[in-house]
Amino acid sequence: MDAKLAIENAEISALVRILGLKFGENYSDDEKLKSLRYGRLLIMTDQDPDGSHIKGLIVNFLHMYWPSLLKANYVNYFITPLLKVLLNCF
């Protein structure tokens, strides 16, 4: 997928704009990494097949255009709970 096609997608375009990413930029050094609008990206998806798929799509997209973000541990994952257990609720 080329950058022009990717940026035509509303969600991808919003993610790139919100994070302050630039296509073709290498974020290996700290100065470039600090130029981004946020210090980290935290992916918080549901722990179902759809959530896992969405997380995979985001990581794959970032790896394709900005692999240095993954190497710099810029991308993190929040593992949401599968269920909630309550005591004495009956």
In a domain, 17, yes or no: yes
What is the 8-class DSSP label of residue 53?
A: H
| pTM beyond 0.85 | no
In a domain, 57, yes or no: yes
Interval 33-52: pLDDT, tens: 999 999 999 999 998 899 99
Interval 3-13: pLDDT, tens: 788 889 999 99
Owning domain of residue 52 = 3-77
Structure tokens that stand for 28 in this block: 């290996």
In a domain, 88, yes or no: no
In a domain, 89, yes or no: no
The phi, psi pair for 77, rounded to 5°, reads -125, 135
24 vs 7 pLDDT, higher one? 24
**C-alpha to C-alpha distance for 86 and 90, rounded to whole angstroms:** 9
In a domain, 86, yes or no: no
| Mean pLDDT, range 21-31, rounded to an integer | 95
CATH number, domain of 17, equals 3.40.50.670
Give how many domains the chain has, as a whole number.
1
In a domain, 85, yes or no: no
In a domain, 90, yes or no: no
Within the chain, what is the greatest distance between any pair of CA atoms? Answer: 57
